[in-house]
Structure 1
Amino acid sequence: MTELAGQPWLSDAATVAVLDALEAAGGPGCVRFVGGCVRNALMGQPVDDIDLSTTLKPDAVVAALKTAGLKSVPTGLAHGTVTAIARRQPFEITTLRQDVSTDGRNATVAFTDDWDQDAARRDFRLNALYADRSGRIFDPTGQGQADAAAGRIVFVGDPATRIQEDYLRILRFFRFHAWYGRGEPDADGLAACAALHEGMARLSAERVSKELLKLLAAPDPRDAVRAMSKTGVLGQILPEPVSLDRFEAMVVVSDEVALRLSALLPDTSEAVMKAAVALRLSNALRNRLIDAVSGTLAPSASAADIRAMLYRAGRQPVLDRLARTAADHPEACPGDISAIARDWPIPRLPIGGREVARAGVAAGPDTGRILKAFEDSWIADDFPADGHEDRLRALIAAG
């Protein structure tokens, strides 16, 4: 039986404190590591979160943590989940469970002490892996370790049954393939996703967008997104026609999720707003996406063009527009243009109402008009550092 080796989180003081607390209440073997930490350790990937499964019921978990002087947070008691805090580190602890009923979004669960029953309700075989505190691995499906070694994302049991328990598993199938898969996606899983993708309409927009953004953050999500498109899953999320060519080029250009998502959206601010609202994106991400499509950056843009756009639009929109242009026109956007977009210090307008008044213009509408004319002229001349008084007098004289 395979054992995890060289994993510092196994013997970390915070981990040991939580395991000791639970085993003091439930005895040796009542708790195991589960899911992502075991999977990632086997696959040589970073371990960010440590999840635990236990035979202890939630109230017993809370009591055990309290006895040990550890903080507990009741993050999902109805589903058996308690979060322990040890040395400021969170550990999600979930009681072994089985599904009693599901509606495609939420499940009613019953607690159990059977590890095989707990594994049978999980989504993919490589996520149904457990390890005890010594690092000894338990693989109830018999295929989880092999899947992790081969980079296979395979549903536990019947794919259609797993999907109908929670339609978000369709997106998780593609997200895990983007992050951990190698080769073609599992054929049975792919067919089930294609047949059942309309069920995703039952999901909340927040759940869908969260999963989509995680998928787009993968080092190379192109194969997964291409498969999503072929199965109709992508069209279920983003009903407007999209260009996979632009998206695939953008993955090469940038690892930023916002830019990759932008490449999957239409080129009008109205369409982007519609998609952002449908996906319940954050205001910051929505605004960034709209800014990215609200101005065009020609492949032949000069340094002066870039500086003018930086001044008017701000740095982030210009960087995003530059990336979009680079994705559409890889031969464009030379290094000096990119350097200007990144590093040029955006100046402030060198005059204001006080200078206009000193030049003899009475306060009123003319002040704003003259300032606007000055600004336009100053930008057109590529932001000269001096000659401001002469420029202002000339504009005033011209009326």
Structure 2
Amino acid sequence: AVRPPCGPGTRPAADARTDAEFRQRIVRAWSMQDFPAGQSGHDHFFDTFGKFGEATRDRGKMLANVANTVVEQNQFYLETLVTPASDAAKKLADSVGYDADLAAFHRKLVAGGKLDGAVEEAVREADAADAQFRETARCDTARPDPGCRLSVRWISQVSRGSSNERVFTQMALGMRLAERDPRFVAVNLVQPEDGESALRNYRLQMRMLQYLRTQYPDARLTLHAGELTPGLVKPEDLTFHIREAVQVAGAERIGHGVDLVHEDDWQQLARTMARRGVAVEVPFSSNKQILGVAGDDHPFNAYRRYGVPVVLATDDPGVSRIDISHEYQYARATYGLSYTELKDLARASLEHAFLDGDSLWASGSARTGYRPVRACAGSQPGVAPPAPACARHLADNAKAATEWRQEAAFAGFERRQGGAR
């Protein structure tokens, strides 16, 4: 996709509305649909983003579509990735230049309100996207779309394959933004972890995050780490990525974590993640498409054996051509999970979300079970209104209130199905 006018050898994207064959060519190029065996799913997946980037400028319209799908999938909360103030961050990084002294580098970014200028640009972008979303989803009309009732938060993504100055600037922008605007909650790293620059600078990037967390202690951190397999990178690159993300950068969630058993002393790493409550986000379809890892080769059961919190994710549902229900179905069919185990995966997804406030659960994990806080111990979601003390707890804590809604939905589903199975 490129901006108009269409040049020689190109045609309007609108032709896809009437030309089914043309539409299928686009979908195959922009996603994993019908991707042929024997070719690199890794390369095709990551190449799609450069192809459809021009079509993603209307963030609010895209969010309206995604939000409706999320609600239809019985989800109550969404965190999704965005690159805030991309142009402003690039200009700022280029103007300041890299400084290996990270504290000095940060001071240069902040000096004269330069970083705050980028934050303000990101806020304006978010305001425009919110307005476009509400208009597209008809949120202020008598018949709003289902997505209007969804709580949505943004995670600022950092292009890990970029120059050191741009990576650090994007990190600082995302963390400063998370402390200034409640719509933004965290920072993550994107792009191939096995890229030349990403591999070369991986330890440096973890130290960057470690330093910035001292400056922005309220910003949250979830990191794509360990999206690697033998043969994709040198053996030594499989031994430390998850560990550095957890122990150096201080990640609260790990995305993918596929190379767990190749990490040095991986059992101790898993115990550390379990003790700290560091969750791993598992996108089965993505791991199979990109890395060719599935079934018993996937560390899903290894994480669970060691008590690491596990949540299911879609990675990029548009590119993978799946939804979250597909991932739950895969978990059931592949690993023989019971209804209760699937239910706990869904609970963990909210328990480890970056929602404001305290949890509904005094003890919440698949290993220990989910036991409500004292204020809500006698209340039954979906059966009766919460007791006064519980109602106050829900009113004061968005996380607990969202988890209550999920429990009420479970109760309704179980009544309709005649009990859990």
TM category, shorter: 0.3 to 0.5
> 1 or 2 for the larger relative contact order (CA 8 Å, sep ≥6)?
2
Question: Which of the two has higher C-alpha Rg?
Answer: 1
TM-score with structure 1 setting the length: 0.32
